[in-house]
Structure 1
Amino acid sequence: MKVIPTELPGVLIVEPKVFGDDRGFFMETFHEKRYADAGITGPFVQDNYSRSAKGILRGLHFQEPNAQGKLVQVLAGAVYDVAVDVRRGSPTFGRWVAVELSTDNRRQLWIPPGFAHGFCVLSESADFHYKCTTLYSPDTERGVLWNDPDLGIPWPVSSPLLSGKDAKAPRLKDAPVLPVYAG
């Protein structure tokens, strides 16, 4: 596998090795030792799978406390995937990275604990899979407004379909609870 660092320390793009022929393909989507050697550590305690239609935007989500690391990938379709550093006191606080994840490129994105995550569906639909390092905790789920002007994320859709909760999320500067950068 190839691991590509991003502008945000700890956020990594993973390109698994794909072995294919006229019958199809095979790829390893997780191998504990290889991923740990690359800086992606668990334990992973929950896997999630979702399907969304074109134009749906989910996020920007994080948990605090009970911060989750997420290893995400698209199983079918394509998404514009975003990670935002929301750790108060971090030298990269408020900065973000975006990457297209798709069936074609088979990339994964590692989003460490302390980062918000969101994605927008580019294809007619997208099947999205993510491994989490902490169980989902509805009481500690938080969000940041997807179109926060201070972040300036150039989402590929101007009027996405949002959940009510995502539409009412606060701007980062107004978020009442954020993780703290540990250095």
Structure 2
Amino acid sequence: MNEIVEEEWVDETTPFERVYEVVRRTYDGESADEIAERARTSPTTARKHLRTLADAGEVATAEDGGTTLYRRSETAIVTEHAQSLLQDRSTEEISAGIADMKATIREWREEYGVDSPEEFARELDVADADSEHGSVLTEWQTTRRNLALAQAALAIADAQRAGHLAGRDGDDDEDTSAIT
């Protein structure tokens, strides 16, 4: 049964689409040969498409003993999550959430006399890690990550509204992408 599904996948998609689909689920570096095998394409074709995806910011690379390893980039992950957030929430809701998260972080800073969850963790005793302080630490780290994600979503929304992602200037409706 899996062979039939795999054959249909290969028949219905291009090598680029398969490489992209594989790398979208690759969070630990893999060689082009490994990605090619999973994408059912040649290593040469995979390398070509991986270079294109790296140039577009979708893929991050690292060297390991002369072998290039490829994985999904942090930017691509954040962008995907931010766009998902924009589909689920209005910019007004996101802005309100940002204000709430900033207020919560400000309260933690004042209450514990530190500027970051890392500084807070250094102040904790090992025994505190499983206590209420440990849960505050986790919540602070999560809130900070969610704040950054919400801010990225608003930045994307602003860029879309201004036309920067469509290749036009939002101050007027003239398409400037073809100006030479």
Same fold? TM cut 0.5: no
Higher helix share: 2
Asked which structure has the greater RCO (Cα within 8 Å, sep 6+), the reply is: 1
Task: Please tell me whether Structure 1 or Structure 2 has the larger radius of gyration of its CA atoms.
Answer: 2
TM range (shorter): under 0.3
Higher strand share: 1
TM value normalised by structure 2: 0.24
TM value normalised by structure 1: 0.24
